[in-house]
Amino acid sequence: MSSMKPILALVLSLMAAPTFALDSIGTVTARLEGADLSWQVLTTEDGAAMVQVNDIGPLTMVDTHAMGDGDVYIGLVFQDEPSIDVAPVGITIDIRPEGAAGPVWKSAGASVAPTLSIERLNLDGAGRIEAGFEAMLCRGDTPATCETVIGRIETDLGLP
């Protein structure tokens, strides 16, 4: 998962430099195993954020990492210019309710592809996304254990 490397570097740098203040620029919420989970999308004073928007050729990728009740990753891939009228061509959702030491619940390999209902997507200024999602997530350590998860993402995109 090469997309984890920038976030891992951010987290490690934050641990090594505790003088940085962390600010929340958004939240991700979901219900998993009967528990309501919530995570914060963080940014530092120098502008490093746990959400990244990357244009690679005809694709735009929006990668969101958040921390709180464990951690969560939501990866969206859009063909051409992202908008509320265009569904992502790829959606990846990974939830680790116990953090890195616990099991990962992931959409990859599930029998039903995740869906995203975008209410707001703005790439101007700092950018913002507000959307609901529904995904079948299966435990990485016991792939036959799957659950439908419904959640929301509401965050600034931390664009410069």
Provide the pLDDT for residue 5.
52
Provide the pLDDT for residue 66.
95
Number of CB atoms found within 10 A of residue 99's CB: 11
Provide the pLDDT for residue 123.
87
Q: How many domains does the chain have?
A: 1
Q: Rounded CA gap, 113 and 97, in Å?
A: 21
**Where does residue 19 rank: exposed (0-12), middle (13-18), buried (19+ CB within 10 A)?**
exposed
Domain span at 120: 4-156
Residue 21, both tokens: 């203040």
Residue carrying structure tokens 């664009």:
159
Provide the pLDDT for residue 19.
52
**Binned average pLDDT, 10 residues per bin, the chain of 160 residues:** 49 52 92 95 83 91 95 95 90 95 94 95 90 97 95 90
Residue carrying structure tokens 């209902």:
117
Residue 44, both tokens: 């530092």
Widest CA span in the chain: 45
